[in-house]
Structure 1
Amino acid sequence: MDRITLGNEEFEGNNNTYVLAGDSADGDGGSLALVDTGIATPDCRADLREGLAERGYEFADIDAIVLTHFHPDHSGLAGEIQAESDATVYVHAADAPLVAQDTDATAAFDQRRRDALEQWGLPAAPKAELLAFLEAADGIQGEPADVTPIEDGDVLEVGGHRLETVHAPGHAAGLCWFEISDGAESDATEAFVGDTILPVYTPNVGGADVRVERPLEQYLDTLERLVVRDYDRVWPGHRDPIEEPSERARTIAAHHRERTENVLEVLADHGPADPWTVSAHLFGDLEGIHIFHGPGEAYAHLDHLSQEGVLDLEGGEYRLTVDLERVDLDAVLPSITDST
C-alpha cells in the first residue's frame, strides 16, 4: 500500500489517494486499485497522474476504485479514471446515485440543501455568498461514473488486498471505512477511514450531508464502533495516518459533548434561536463552504437535543424546555466506550 498526497487546501487539508497493488484475486496477473481519487481540479489531477507515474502507473492501468463517500474531494476523478481504464468503481449504495450523477438524485440533493438554508435561518447576504461559492465550484465533482453499489459487510478483493466494508454514517449517508484484512487468520488492525475521523479537524456533521437523519447521533454511534474495533492505525482521507485511532475518536466525541454544552449555553444566555444564530455565537463570521458547515453543525446539535426532549422547536427557533442546570448530559449524550 502506498499513499499519494494531493494538493487540495479547500476541504480539510491535503487529500490522500491510496494505491493498492498486488496479484489479482483470480491469480491472472497484477491488480491495481485506488482508495479515493481526489477532487476534479487541474492541480489535483496533475498530482495524481504524477504520483502514479512515479510508481510506474497511469490512469489506464487502474482496475478498481474504492470510494469512502461521495464528496467531490474523494470521488471527483473517479469517472475520468474509469473512462480511461474501465475500472470498477465501488461506493456505498446510499452515495452511489450521487457519484453516478443520477439526475433525480442530484436534483433532490440540491433542493434538500436549499431547503436546509431556509430552515436554518440563513440571511440573504450569506446565503447569496454561499450559493455563489457553490456555483463557482461546479465541476469539481468531475465526470459521472458507472458505479457498483456496496453495503456494510461486503468484502472487496482489490489491488491484492482484502477490504471489508464498514458502513459509517454521520459525516455522509454512505460513508464507509474499509478494514484491511489480508490474513484470513488475523484480525484487521488497520483501515482506510475516509473522513470518519481526521488527525487535525473534526469532520463536519449536519452540513456535510443534509440527507443524514439525526446526524449527531449517527456519527457518535459510528465513533463508538470505531473505538470497539480498536485498530492500531488508520489511514484518513486527509493528512497523515492516525496512530491511536480509538483515542482520536474519543477526543472527537468529547469535542461534540463540549459543543453540545456550548449550544445549551447560547440558548440559556440569549433565548430561542435558529441554527444560523447559534452558529454565529459558536463560530463568528464564516465564508465559503463554512457558511453551510457552521449552521449545519449547530443544527446537528440542536436537532439532537430536540429529539431528546431538551429543546422545543417552534417557528424555526429552538428553546430550552428545562433550566440549564437540570439537563442531564450523560443521558442526552452518552460517553464513548472507555475500553474495548
Structure 2
Amino acid sequence: MTTQVTDHRGGVWSIAVPIPDNPLGHTLVHLLETDRGPVLIDTGWDDPDSWDTLVAGVTACGFALADLHGVLITHHHPDHHGLSAKVREASGAWLAMHAADTSVVRRTREATPDQWLDHLIAKLAAAGAPDDHLAPLRTARAGGGGRRMPGLRAALPDREIGPGELLDLPGRRLRAIWTPGHTPGHVCLHLEEEHPARQNRGFGRLFSGDHLLPGITPHIGLYEDPAESAGEVADPLGDYLDSLERIGRLAPAEVLPAHQHAFTDAGGRVRALLAHHEERLAQLRTLLSEPRTAWQLARAMEWNRPWEQIPYGSRTIAVSEAEAHLRRLVKLGHAESVPGSGPVRYQAVDGVR
C-alpha cells in the first residue's frame, strides 16, 4: 500500500484515500492542525484499503489517530462521509456537518433498503426510463439488493456546521460557507489566514469539497429533499450557480478540493463553470423544441462519451442531472410540462427557444 500525503504547509496536509472501482481514484482528505489536535476535513470511502490508507496518512502527517480532535464533513456522500463512524470510534473525535445533509443521513438511516430502491424505480419510471433500465433494479428489489447500497448506516454527526460560522478550532480561523447544489448541505471551509507562499493573489485557502474542482464539473442532480413533499420544489442547479458566484467573490489565494489537485485562480474556474451551465441550459432549450421526457433529454444531451458507451449506473446519474437542468428551465419560465403527458414530457416555452 502506497500512501500519498502532501504537505501544503502552514499545518495543512492532504491524504489521497482511494475510492474502490471509481474513475475519480481517490478522495483528498485534508488534515488541519489546531491547538487542540488535528482535525480532518472529510474521511473517505468505507473500505478496508481506504481505512488503512487514511490511518497511514494521519501517521505520515506526524499524528496518531487518537490525537484527532474532530472531523468536518463537507457533504454526506459516501466518498467523503463513509469512514466517519470508524474515525469517531477509534479516536473519540466529534463529527460536524450542515443540518441539511444531516437530514439526508437521518432519512437514509430510517428508511429500509427496499424503500430506497422503490423510490429510485418510481423516480426513473416517472422520468421515462425504459423497461431494460428498470429491470435490474426490479430484480435487485426482489432479491433484497438494496441492503448493499452504500451510506445506509452512515454516522449521524455530533455537531452542526452553521453557515458563516467561525468554527471553534483554537489557533485557526476556519469559516464555514454554505454552498448548496451538489448536495443541499454542502459546505466549503475558508481558512482565513495568510497563505504560506504569500505571493499568491487572493486571501486564505478554501477547502472546497466537491463544489469547486480544477478539471471536473460536479454532478448537480435533484435533492432527496423532504421539503418537496411539502410543496416546495428545490432548485439544485440554481442553488449551485448562486453558490459559485459567492465563492467567486470570496477570491481565495488557493483552492484545496476533495478530488484531483490544489489550484489557484478560483475566480477563473468559477467563470468557466458558470459559462458551462449557461451553455448547457441553452442547448437544452434547443432540444426542447420538441417535447421530451427527462430520459429522452438525457439521451440527447452532450456527455463525455456517446450514450451507448455510458455505463448503466452513470445513466441514472445523467438523468438526474437532466432533471436538475429541466427544473431550472421551468423555474426561469423557459420550459414547461406538456399537460396530460405520462411519463411527463417537457417543451420550451415560445419565444425563448
User: Structure 2 length as normaliser, TM-score?
Assistant: 0.80
Distance 2:67 2:41 in 1: 14
Deviation at 1:160, TM superposition (A): 4.1
1:158-177 mapped onto 2 (5 Å cutoff): 158=169, 160-177=171-188
Distance 2:48 2:312 in 1: 20
Determine the C-alpha separation between the residues in 2 that align with 1:56 and 1:198: 28
In the alignment, structure 1 residue 220 sits paired with structure 2 residue 220: no
Residues 100 and 146 in structure 1, CA contact (< 8 A), matched pair in contact too: no
Distance 1:123 1:129 in 2: 11
Tell me which moved more, 314-323 or 285-294: 285-294
- Structure 2 partner of 1:155: 166
Q: Compared with structure 1, are the counterparts of its residues 182 and 72 closer, same or farther at alpha carbon in structure 2 (3 Å cutoff)?
A: same
2:173 partner SS: strand
Q: Structure 1 counterpart of 2:208, which letter?
A: V
CA pair 34-309 structure 1, distance change in 2 beyond 3 A: same
Query: Which moved further from structure 2: 3-12 or 296-305?
Result: 3-12
Distance 1:245 1:38 in 2: 24
State the match for 1:202 in structure 2: 217
CA displacement at 1:182 relative to structure 2: 4.0
1:31-180 matches, within 5 Å, as 31-99=37-105, 103-104=109-110, 113-129=120-136, 135=146, 138-139=149-150, 143-158=154-169, 160-180=171-191
**CA separation of 1:110 and 1:32: change in aligned 2, threshold 3 A:** farther
CA distance in 2, matches of 1:2, 1:190: 12
Instruction: Provide Cα deviations, 1:106-138, integer angstroms capped at 9, x if missing partner.
Output: 878776545432332222322344685984852
TM-aligned CA deviation for residue 80 of structure 1: 0.8
**Cα offset, 1:51, TM superposition:** 1.0
Residues in 1 aligned to 2:133 and 2:108: alpha-carbon distance in whole angstroms: 29
> Contact 1:156–1:162 at 8 Å: present in 2 too?
yes
Aligned length: 314
SS of alignment partner, residue 155 of structure 2? coil
Please list the CA deviations of residues 74-112 of structure 1 after superposition, one character each: whole Å capped at 9, or x if unmatched: 110011110111111010011113445764378787765
Q: Under a length normalisation based on structure 1, what TM-score does the superposition of the two structures give?
A: 0.83
- Shift of the 237–137 alpha-carbon distance from structure 1 to 2, 3 Å rule, reads farther
Q: Are 1:78 and 1:89, in contact at CA under 8 Å, matched by a contact in 2?
A: yes
Query: Per the alignment, in what secondary structure is the counterpart of residue 218 of structure 2?
Result: coil
Q: Are 1:190 and 2:211 matched, yes or no?
A: no
Superposed CA deviations along residues 209-245 of structure 1, whole A, max 9, x for unmatched, are 3438111111110111011111121111111012111
Q: Contact 1:166–1:178 (CA<8 Å) still a contact in 2?
A: yes
Structure 2 residue matching 1:154: 3-state secondary structure: coil
CA 1:139–1:257 in structure 2 vs 1: closer, same or farther (change >3 Å)? Answer: closer
Question: Which residue in 2 is equivalent to 1:331?
Answer: none
Greater relative contact order structure (CA < 8 Å, 6+ sep): 1
Deviates more, 1:154-163 or 1:272-281: 154-163
Instruction: Write the distance in 2 (CA, Å) between the matches of 1:287 and 1:3.
Output: 31
Paired-residue identity, % = 27
